[in-house]
Every structure is written in structure tokens, then in C-alpha cells.
Structure 1
């Protein structure tokens, strides 16, 4: 679209972090004097990156409306105390409703910043959806393009997230109607395979922490051969397909493989423990704990 080339990622499943870059050619009429973009360009590349995965907590519509009502009522009370009369044609209820509408308008922020990359190879190593917008003579027009692309990207990312939530809800409703929900005890009755066929996180009702620590991890560590492990870990991936941050699942897989080779690996054991805790935190919608655990994980990995 418009000459934009996707260098990495999948438009049908955006990861939430994007990098866009342009190649800047020398402008024939450029003055020797410095321009505002000089410090942003490195080796002829102007780069912008944005991470939209960590959504800030937003108050509910009801909370916003209550806050608006409190301020509006205080405003009316102050006017009354000061002897200020409202215009005869002023509809207070209509004004209140309009304030509610304005306060609940969804505005898309643009948490994007200039990237710090020396070359294209470094950009392509990043874990992100990466877009190349082409060559530009001078940085002015390139900067316009780069700063508007995150708006479109974030809107598409949010739309995909909403659709995924709807699909998950529909799947849960269908399973509820069919009575196919499974709890921790039901899974533990099956000793031949890690999970019953067709079971996913969306149809699981129970203690996920107990499932991971009592069933999944011991089962995978006890696999007698690598081929058996490969088969069972794929069942784990399939079960967790509805989990929003697949990096945690891959991290558990990597840690388990390391522990199967070297059972006394402290780093692998710590990563395994923290990843399981983070999955449980996200499953229970404890975003603060999930963020704290991610910082601990990144400290170990870095």
C-alpha cells in the first residue's frame, strides 16, 4: 500500500510493536546549515518505533460519568452561590449528556519515538512488525509519513485485539452451551497425553497455577524422549493459543528443554518459575503483577 513494504511480521496478527523507517537521500538544494532532523538520521536512515502492547488503565465509562457529574454539579452550585443565573434557554440535562459524550470519546495516543538504529540489519533483528516506507529526498516528507503510520498501525492493532476478544467470547459461549468446560481435576485424570483433544485455555475452568505446576511442568520434564517431549509441548502450545503473550509460552518451552539437559540450571529454573507466575497473573487480570514479573524476567535474560 502506497509503496510501504512490510519487512517483518504478519499484518493479520500484529504483535503490537512497530518500527518504520525510511532511507533519506541528500537534497540537492539542502543548505549546509543544520536542520531539525540532522540528529535523527543515522547512516541515511530515519526510524520511528512505537510499542502499543502496554495499554494504560482507563477508567470505566461509569467512573468517568460520575467524575464529570461531580464537577458539573459543583460548577452549578458555585454559580448559584454567587448569584449567577443560568440562561433561560439552557438545557442542563442536555449539557450534562453532551459532557458525558465528550469525556468518553476514544482518542488514540501515539506513543512513538525516533529509533536509534545504525543500519537496516539492526532494525530487522528487532522483535517487531517492521515497515520500510521508501526513499525520500530530504527528511521533511519522510518525517510526515513516519509520524502518521503509527496512528493507522495502532488502530489496526486495537481492532484485531477486539476481534480476538469477541472470538474468544464466542468460543466460550459455545463451549458453555455444549457443556464442554474442563477443570484441573478433569485434566489430571488423563495420564496418556498432556491435554484432552481440543481443549484450550478458553474452555478451561480452574486453577491455572495448579495446572501448570502440578500437571504441565512435571509431565513435560518427565517425557522419556525428545520426540515425546516435542509431541506433548505442541499440545501445550495448542492449549495456550488464546493466551495473549506467546513469548511466555516460548520461554517456558526453552527453559524446560534446558532443564531436561541440565537439571541444575538455576537460570532456567528461575525463568520457568517467573514465566508460570506471569501467565497466571495475566490469566487472573493482574496487570501490575504481570509487569513486575516481566521486569524480573528481562533482568535475568539481559
Structure 2
């Protein structure tokens, strides 16, 4: 299939936010390493890889690696490779997810599968996963390899679990949290945990940074699922109601069914079973009227507070301050 995209911006031009200020030099080095590690003898690999890497996003997972390591006074340079390979792992899941979800828009741009087709997107995702494991070997820590290899299995299980939940209105809150722990929070957790291991953290600090990443990832996913029903499509770079269109029973819908009237519950159940957007306006009214969105935001704030509490185990520094800002951003953002 011919590509719809004819130009590819450089990943090195990705803008850094104030959150990255504490590790600005490190982040610039990560961007350079990303471009270097995308090199391939097959031009399409580089083209698609650069396209998805440069499509925007906050680069939160590599940022977590850098902040975790620096917060414990790490002085080496392996955190650059570690942050890069974490970003490759994340990017590969995006490529695969968009194919599975048949998505056409991500961050306001055509998805790679929309531009080049499903097969190239899946295969380039495989390339990025493989490259990440090459770099993992170069980092040379068996403990980090153990954390990240386990994480890849949990992430894959989370994605499969989400797929099996599609169209199932009987999915409960416990199953929902288990799913988002796997598909989203696990890589946040692995990023902060591996950064701690690299910096030779104490057992207490290592456990704290591992938990920090987990709670942060849960908060981000909860807000993502919230914004699917109250966000601005232009700001988010995706359509409002995408989760409903795919029949995904996320927490706003689960809570609406838990507290709604029989009529409201029946409407939501049918919408989940059918997928599509025919009932979007009805469902939007229900998740507002039942307080399901407020409930989802409260759970996100709970996870953010738990993430913040973990930082007490770290010495005071601008890196710890940035991680605290990140935990607050998780629930304050609108995109």
C-alpha cells in the first residue's frame, strides 16, 4: 500500500516540556540515540520508525528512567540507552495497538497503519521490540533484563485481556484495573524500577520507585479513559468516544452501570455490546448524570496521591520535584 505520509520529521526536534528541564541534556542525548538506533538497511523501517517516534507525545516512560536514575545520583551514561530502549518498547506497542484497534488517528495524525498498511506497521513494531532487547543486552544488567522481559509478558497479557473484554458489559472494576495495570502501568513501573536498579538504589528506594511508576501509570490511564468521554478531540488528537466505538468497558462505563437506573444500565450494556457511536450522546449523558466521570477522576487522584507518597523515600532534589510534578500532571491534564 502506498504511504499517505510523504515526509517524516526528525525525532530530535520533539519539543521538551518544563517537566524535562531537570534532565534536558540527558533528554537531548536520548533523542540522538533514538535516531541512531533507528538505523536500518531497510529504508521503510527507518521511515515508519521515525514517523511514529516523531508523532508527538510526552515521552514519559524514558523521562521516568532519567529522573529515577538521577534522583539517586547516578553518574554513568547507561541511563540514556535504558531510556531509549524503553521508548522503543512503548512505540512498538503503539504500532501493534493501532493495528489491533484499527485506529486511523493518533495524536492528531494518521496512524502508521493508516499511512502504510497493517503489515509494515506490525513488522516495524517487531523491529523496535527486537532493537530494544539488543540495547538491553548492551546495558548489561541481568536484573534490568529480568524486570523488562517480565514486563513485556505482562504488557502482552494486558493487551490480550483488554481484547477479550471488548463487547463484554459484565467486565467489573477489578478486571478493569487488572487490564490497565498490564497494558499501561506495567511499562511505567518497569521504567522507574529499572532506573532505580541502574542507580543501585537501596531496597527501600527501589521498591518506592517501582510503586511510584505503577501508580503513575494507573493515574494516566484512568485520566485517558475519563477524557474519552469529556475531552476535546482536537486537543487529544483522537476522537471522543473512541473507546465506546470499540466496545471497551472502561471505568466510566463500569461505574455508570454500577450506580445507574435500570434503564441507564441497559443503554450502556447495549452500547458496549454493539460498539459504534450510535448511542454516544445517550452514553455521554449517562456517565455525566451518574457521576461516573467524577468517580473515575477520584480514582485517578487516589493513584496520583499514592505515587506522590512514594517519593518520601528519595533524597530531596530537583529530580524528585519533577517526579512530583509529573504525578500532579497525571490528573490535571486535558490531553
- The TM-score with structure 1 as length reference comes to 0.28
Higher strand fraction: Structure 1 or Structure 2? 1
Question: Greater Rg, structure 1 or structure 2?
Answer: 1
Higher helix fraction: Structure 1 or Structure 2? 2
